[in-house]
Amino acid sequence: LPDWFRISFQDKNWPNAVEFGDATAIPWSCYSNIVDVIGSPEEKKSYRRKLKEAFSLAPDFVEKLKQEKFYPAALIWENGQPLFRIKDSEYSPVIRLGLKPGTLQSDDFIYKMRNSGLLFYEIGMSGDTRLVSNNTPEEDFSILEERVNRVLKMNPNAYLVLQIGFSKMQEWCERNPDEVIGYATGAVQPDRMLSGDETRGRRLRPSPASQMFQHDANRVVWEFCEFIKTRPWKSRVVAIRPSFGVTAESMYYGSASDMPDTGKAMTVKFRQFLKKRYGNTLSMQKAYHSKKESLETILPPTKEERMGTGVFFRNPASKDRKVLDYYECMQETMADFMISLARTAKESLPGRLVGIYDGYEVGKFYPPEGEHTQTDRLLSSPWIDFLSAPYNYNREARSAGSYGILVHIPSTFVRYRKLSLLEADIRTYVSHLNEGIEHKTPLESVSILRRDMVHNLFDRAGIQFHQFGGAYGPDWFNTPVLRKEIQDSIRVTDFVRKNISSEDICDIAVIYNSKEFSMHGPAVRSLPFIVELKFISLTSLARSGHNFEVMSLETFLQSPKKFKMVVFLNTFTTDWKMNQKLREKIHSPGVTAIWTYAPGLVTPNGFSDQNMADLTGISLKSVWKPLPLAAKLKKNGTIHIGSRKKEYPHHLQNPRVFCNDPNVEILANYEDDLTPAIVRKRLPGGAVSIFTGLPITSMYLWRRLFEQAGCKALVAPGIVSRMNSSLIMIHSANTGKKIITLPKKVKGIIDLYNAKVVAENVNKFSVEDSQNTTGLFYYGDDYAEVLKRLQNWK
């Protein structure tokens, strides 16, 4: 060792230190190569020897891995819940990622959780270099080997999910300039001029429409899988995740404001798409109401074409048809590219699950270029087993007491028997980020972590715990209280998945049609109306105290379930066939439908007030000029566009839709001209139709409408609750007693986390907890037997 490593060393001739800091925290943790920067030759040699040892497995363990028999990983369903099956064991789908094995904070978490039931770890690497590399695969993928070895060193029983991603790819793009993304807003900009948000700015990136890039990316995925086959730990690999796009999330670069993709590769793809759709130039020109372009010369839409006339909707019976076709082509192109990567992984490594980041349908606040609308296309593919997505990045979704609305629609995944994974990138009380969504206390973090784990049981989904910058700062989940909560939640949810069968019993269906936002809405990211329409209306509904199920339009039409209330949040585009299908589903005695903003206004033949009337049973009229969206209830106060009215006092929306039907009950009028904004009408046959010309952002108004339709609340407004045929969840940020009212009397109720009976022979029960709590309860005639099994569960 050098002298200065010894306690006896005299440092009196050294300059005084100017700053002290925790080596595991920013900014010091950014310097992962500090020994290479300041170390002596002897220190560097010693350090590298220790590094090699740290990232190498013991020979006897390597031999053990080589002898392990490979058992295919499978996604199975038991008691209506998804599970991973490996050999003869079944595991709850709980994954940890966002780690950097070899750092103190990551290693410490993996080691301390080795007996917790958390067995699945995702390790990733970039495939960018491999796209242009002349090295052997072993040289380029060596970093993966090091990371895997370190995970297995910390937890010898771990299973691996391996990610290969494509993100920057600068050198590949410079070599292949005809294969990159073009932007309708201008020329490509150097990365050094742009912020870290890749949804903004015109970056040099490959186009997913490029056949050359598709070929090269699939080659790298194949080489990645072939490399895995040669490693001693190959039998521990249970899943592969290829990724591309903004933050690996299958999303176009520049999609917030720069209008991709006008590049040469996408131009070719767009022409092929139109050729398949229209067959010949004459048919296309007729659809576009324009003779300016042919199938051989047409280009992706310009900025001006995408901006359109400044109204919310694009008209399919006008020149807007080109823009609508283009958006559909874009989204199919990205989905098909990701499916091709998944297929390569699936065929190269049989017996592994394959998934991607996609399916972000609910509450994304991007223009159409940034939407995900191909969830059905992805889930119907035999090459894809799971999709992952976080939930929305705002306090309405993430704070204690909020519902935690997902961007996935879980019922779609259940329909396909595929796995939805919630990416719980929870800003716990030890996270170093300061975004306004971080937690203040350990109890808040525990409550939200438990809320998200319990939601999984009702959504029939899985979860992956993630943090950003795993090498920098403290691990977001590595404190005694959070490790214990993860372990306890894995134990409880694993018990439920394997022992309790349940069915959905919601009497309220909420229909969310994400395809509308791939067609309509502002051409650049714009607030606040899109936020209220896409998200705040749903978050306020979720806090009404009522039990509900979010469904896509396709899932709703296929579902045999009967509902008392059906809420259509954004069904703007229909034709006579769709109208007929929907009427058959909802025009029954005792069924109430709520229609938001402009239901059925858009048809293949243009905008139609008559189609709105045919769909809803209420005569409605559209006004095509910018008007304020604020309405006054006839009873009990005023509602506006939402909580953001003070921030946006001059917000206008075009068009406005109001009711001109004389045979309705008026519930609210627009404030400026007093035309009916919210109305209710009883239809022939006994069904009820409600129209609201603006998003409902009041949980109290939602509750009133639900109760008037005969739906019974489970809890008081402001408390998050869920219920199925066996389970009840409550979540609240407030102290005090919470009363849960059941649909009927039950023999017994168990607190599943505390393994105790809380009530017997009741039709309501109460819990009294401290602030920021989440509870999970089982109810049923066999509660005593379930409790006995739970107490013996390991």
> DSSP secondary structure string, 432-445?
---SS---SSHHHH
> DSSP secondary structure string, 249-306?
SS--TTTTTS-B--SHHHHHHHHHHHHHHHSSHHHHHHHHT--S--TTT--PPPHHHH
Chain segment 291-309, per-residue pLDDT in tens? 999 999 999 999 999 999 8
Structure token digits, residue 261 = 């993709």
Res. 135: pLDDT tops 90: yes
Write down the mean pLDDT value for the chain: 92
Contact of 124 with 494, CB cutoff 8 Å: no
Q: Which pLDDT value is given to residue 389?
A: 96
Q: Which CATH superfamily is domain 508-708 in?
A: Class I glutamine amidotransferase (GATase) domain (3.40.50.880)
Q: Which pLDDT value is given to residue 49?
A: 87
Q: Is 738 exposed, middle or buried (0-12, 13-18, 19+ CB in 10 A)?
A: buried
Res. 641: pLDDT tops 50: no
Lay out the sheet containing 676-682: strands in order across: 549-551, 508-511, 565-568, 592-596, 688-692, 676-682, 665-670, 631-633, 638-639
Look at the block and give the residue holding tokens 């109890």: 443
- Hey, is 460 helix, strand or coil? coil
- CATH 3.40.50.880, the chain: domain bounds: 508-708
Give the pLDDT band of residue 642 (cuts 50, 70, 90).
Answer: very low
Taking alpha carbons only, the member of 549, 517, 522, 255 closest to residue 405 is 549
Q: What is the pTM of this model?
A: 0.93
Chain segment 414-445, per-residue pLDDT in tens? 999 999 999 999 999 998 777 778 898 999 99
Q: Is 259 left (phi over 0), alpha (psi -120 to 50) or beta?
A: left
Name the phi and psi angles at 425, rounded to 5.
Answer: -85, 65
Contact of 310 with 333, CB cutoff 8 Å: no
Among residues of the chain, what percentage have pLDDT more than 70? 94
- Hey, is 531 helix, strand or coil? helix
How many angstroms separate the CA atoms of 730 and 777, rounded? 9
What is the rounded (10 degree) CA torsion for 526, 527, 531, 533?
-80
Q: Is 244 exposed, middle or buried (0-12, 13-18, 19+ CB in 10 A)?
A: buried
How many angstroms separate the CA atoms of 367 and 364, rounded? 9
Res. 54: pLDDT tops 90: no
Res. 626: pLDDT tops 80: yes
What is the rounded (10 degree) CA torsion for 750, 753, 754, 759?
-20
Q: Which pLDDT value is given to residue 631?
A: 87
How many angstroms separate the CA atoms of 174 and 179, rounded? 10
Name the phi and psi angles at 683, rounded to 5.
Answer: -95, 160
Res. 621: pLDDT tops 90: yes
How many angstroms separate the CA atoms of 108 and 3, rounded? 30
Structure token digits, residue 748 = 């017994």
Within 10 A of 356 (CB to CB), how many other CB atoms are there?
Answer: 28
Rg of the Cα atoms in the chain: 28
Chain segment 735-788, per-residue pLDDT in tens? 889 999 999 999 999 999 999 999 999 999 999 876 668 999 999 999 999 999
Helix (H) or strand (E) holding 491: helix 480-499
Would you state the CATH architecture of domain 93-419?
A: Alpha-Beta Barrel (3.20)
Q: Which pLDDT value is given to residue 484?
A: 97
Among residues of the chain, what percentage have pLDDT more than 90? 78
How far is residue 390 from each of residues 210, 403, 680, 767, 770, measured CA to CA in Å? 28, 14, 36, 30, 28
How many angstroms separate the CA atoms of 695 and 635, rounded? 18
Mean pLDDT (whole number) for 66-91: 97
- CATH 3.20.20.80, the chain: domain bounds: 93-419
Mean pLDDT (whole number) for 91-105: 93
Helix (H) or strand (E) holding 727: strand 727-732
Q: Which pLDDT value is given to residue 30?
A: 63
